[in-house]
Structure 1
Amino acid sequence: MLPDIRTGAVLPGTRGDERGSAVVDFVLVGSLLIFFFLAIIQLTLVLHVRNTLIDAASSGARYGTLADRTPADARQRTSELIGTALNQDYARDISTSEAEIRGIRTLEVTVRAPLPVLGLLGMPVSVLEVKGHAALPG
């Protein structure tokens, strides 16, 4: 029980064994805030990787549909863009195919990459798949 500051008398309903609990509260709340902050940073990184892969796949598809280019050129260009922006590990599984979207023939570039779990490190079982399209000439 804590004494009253003015009179020195012990106030009813107070306990004197709560000294130092502010330090424990600070550590618990601080660690929870740090965890949430790191989770938000990781989510932001996942979205950045996803958007970068989509952009690389779309740019590769547009490059592959030029008059003097082939789908192999599209794969190569996509791989170069991903390797420059992220890491070459994200450019291991790139495929191209022809697809028809709303009656228009398109070149489709598909990128399958690991989903970043901790920083840019990803597990091979969690896969992020994105596709980019560009209209084929003719």
Structure 2
Amino acid sequence: MILRRPALLGEETGSAPAEFVLVAGLLTLVTLSVMQLGLVLHVRNTALDAASEGARFAALADAGLERGRSRTEELLTTALGPGYAGGVSAAYGDAAGQAIVVVSVRVPLPLIGMAGLPEGLEVTGRAALEAPAAAPTAG
């Protein structure tokens, strides 16, 4: 006597390729998202480090704002490329009565396959002036 399975259960032949396509698509999306996040964090951290280094350089007793700004642009060009070094500004400021140098950097966010965020990302580096009497303070 031959036993047959009930017709209600159906067969699962051919379901493996469909499951593979669904799982592979999801894993690809997750992998690309993690890579995108890593790229954005790399650009942010590099810009923040360049701004801080430029502020420290400009705060030296024999340096000035222009030298700090150019140092920041040089670091950004070396680490990220010339397209990231365009939005650098430097100014004197005041923090709790202490004269400081403030270097701001605006960089575009490298979003792959996404539109929007035209303003990019802005980071700021600050450093206390070595010779505060030689530099004007912002008021």
TM range (shorter): 0.7 to 0.9
What is the percentage of aligned positions where both structures have the same residue?
A: 44
Shift of 1:122: 8.4
Q: Is the 8 A contact 2:84 2:107 kept in 1?
A: yes
Indicate whether 1:21 and 2:27 are aligned.
no
Determine the C-alpha separation between the residues in 2 that align with 1:93 and 1:123: 18
Name 2:5's counterpart in structure 1. Answer: 10
Shift of 1:136: 1.0
Determine the C-alpha separation between the residues in 2 that align with 1:66 and 1:94: 19
Name 2:120's counterpart in structure 1. Answer: 127
Moved over 6 A (4+): 121-124
1:52-79, Cα deviation, whole Å (9 max, x unpaired): 0000000001011111111000010000
Letter in 2 for 1:88: P
Q: Cα 1:124–1:92, aligned 2, differ >3 Å: closer, same or farther?
A: farther
Letter in 2 for 1:13: L
Structure-2-length-normalised TM-score: 0.85
Letter in 2 for 1:135: A
Name 2:94's counterpart in structure 1. Answer: 100
For structure 2, the 5+ residue unaligned runs are 133-139
Name 1:4's counterpart in structure 2. Answer: none
Determine the C-alpha separation between the residues in 2 that align with 1:67 and 1:112: 26
2:33 to 19, 28, 39: 39
For structure 1, the 5+ residue unaligned runs are 1-6
1:18-53, Cα deviation, whole Å (9 max, x unpaired): 421111111111111111111011001101110000
Structure-1-length-normalised TM-score: 0.86
Shift of 1:98: 1.3
Shift of 1:99: 1.6
Q: Is the 8 A contact 2:52 2:125 kept in 1?
A: yes
RMSD (Å) for aligned C-alpha atoms: 2.0
Residues paired across the two proteins, number: 130
